[in-house]
Amino acid sequence: MIGQTDLAGSFTLHGTSMTVNRMGYGAMQLAGRDGNKLVWGPPRDIDAAIAVLRESVASGVNHIDTADFYGPHVTNQIIRKALSPYPDDLVIVTKVSVRRGEDGSWIAAFSREELTAAMHNNLRNLGLDVLDVVNLRSMLSIHEPAEGSIEAPLTILAELQQKGLVRHIGLSNVTPAQIAEARRIAPIVCVQNHYNLAHRTDDALIADLARDGIAYVPFFPLGGFTPLQSGALSEVAARLGATPMQVALAWLLQRSPNILVIPGTSSVEHLRENLEAARLQIPPELVSDLDTIG
């Protein structure tokens, strides 16, 4: 196990007392796979999944990203088994507005009944009385934001916040217009969108959020189900004596101080590799080489 480190510095979520290390952990890969059903059912080795979570926290990770529709219910139940009672500084961020079909499909779930049920499922499976942060995930498009009002579901989420079920609200898979719409309804502490070295649509948005002190949390930081591959990335990694994935994570951490990274893995060895990326410094001339990828 690596020693505890500040993991690339820390960030305090806007308007909160929650300060997290910028290198976090995404729990999606803790769920299993059943044929073509991705993120479905239990993992092959639950003890290994528990070991990954415990080593994450022991190594300084205090920001875990999850969702009760991973599995469904699987990742949250593993998190509870591995880490409850939770450390005082641990921030667990979850997502709502999605349910899973029996065929493994991802289905929009924006009604009051569905959002309320999702909130209670997260509370029950994580073993919490109140959720730290809940992201409303837009399902107007699966992996890329699409314009359209999110006022109705965000208003419901704000009402659930007023009832004490969640402390703070974030957004996922959203456009700048949707963020502006949401901020007129409730304070927003974080935005989680698809972003990495090769997918940089949100460059301007990241800068805008940084000016307002709002965290930006890229999903698929390493390419998701299709890992990043680039000759330029491999060349920079070789020059730095690092792996390409470590360079991709380090680039994100250097990209902007409001970026929080949440790489996921079900392997302790891979976890250690990811955490080491927080110590990697990329010289400006090599950052320029990496910028050509996007």
Residues 70, 86, 195, 216: which is the catalytic one? 70
CA distance 140 to 169: 19
CA distance 25 to 10: 14
Which has the closest alpha carbon to 49: 2, 154, 41, 201? 41
| 50-to-17, 78, 174, 243 alpha-carbon distances in Å | 28, 7, 32, 25
Q: Please confirm, yes or no, whether 25 is among the known catalytic residues.
A: no
DSSP string, 127-196: T-SSEEEEEEEP-SSSSS------HHHHHHHHHHHHTTSEEEEEEES--HHHHHHHHTTS-EEEEE-B-B
Q: Around Cβ 162, how many Cβ atoms within 10 Å? A: 10
| Separation of CA 68 from chain center | 13
Query: Could you tell me which residues come within 8 angstroms of residue 6 by beta carbon, excluding any fewer than 6 positions away?
Result: 21, 60
- Nearest 5°: phi and psi at 265? -165, 155
CA distance 200 to 206: 10
Decide the pairing of beta strands 25-26 and 63-65: parallel
- Give the chain's largest Cα–Cα span: 53
- Residues that are catalytic: 70
